[in-house]
Amino acid sequence: MHIRVDDVVEVLSGNDRGTRARVLRVDRAAGKLVVEGVNRVYKHVRKSQKNPQGGRLAKEMPIQMSNVMLVCSSCNAASRTGARLLKDGSKERYCKKCGAGSGAIAPPRAQTANA
């Protein structure tokens, strides 16, 4: 999974195509994520103790991870991401368009740094 919580992504398909928004939740096992304001559905709720008014409740539903692209913070483009090994043995995610790093994905490994 190349997308993490708090990333800004661009939606590539569906009703919300073209929308750029923040990732709220990531479900790695299902390969899905919830993006702020994207794939919003209305749930009609009956009056209850918890919800005395009843009415419609807006809620974002998860979308498939492959339908979004990470928006690079340096070049501001929706781009594919790569992973590269740094000199200290740590791994970093990077933008395939401009090459800017966008956060570590693995801590340094002293033993294998020179291997």
Which residues form the interface with Zn ion (CB under 5 A)?
72, 74-75, 95, 97-98, 100
Which of residues 82 and 108 has its CB atom nearest to Zn ion in the complex? 82
Please work out, in degrees rounded to the nearest 5, the angle formed at the alpha carbon of residue 76 by the alpha carbons of 99 and 100. Answer: 20
Minimum gap (Å) between residue 75 Cβ and Zn ion: 3
In sequence order, the β-bridge partners of residue 99 are none
16 within 8 A of 4, measured Cβ to Cβ: no
Minimum gap (Å) between residue 52 Cβ and Zn ion: 49
Which of residues 20 and 97 has its CB atom nearest to Zn ion in the complex? 97
Quick one: how far is CA 9 from the chain centroid?
Answer: 6
Which of residues 7 and 60 has its CB atom nearest to Zn ion in the complex? 7
